[in-house]
Amino acid sequence: MTIDEITENFSYLDDWEDRYRYLIELGRTLKPLDAAAHTDANKVRGCASQVWLETKAGTDASGRTILVFSGDSDAHIVRGLVALVLALYSERTPKEILATDAQALFSQLGLSQHLTPQRSNGVRSMVERIKSDARAAAAAA
Q: Rounded to whole angstroms, what are the CA distances from 139 to 66, 94, 95, 133, 135? A: 13, 10, 11, 10, 6
Q: Which of 131, 125, 84, 82 lies closest to 105 in space, CA to CA? A: 84
Active site residue 110: no
Q: Alpha-carbon distance 130 to 57, whole Å?
A: 12
Of 47, 86, 87, 127, the catalytic one is: 47
Q: Which of 90, 88, 87, 82 is nearest to 119 (CA)?
A: 82
**What ranges in the chain are assigned the alpha helix state H?**
3-11, 16-29, 76-89, 94-99, 102-108, 117-140
Q: Active-site residue numbers?
A: 47
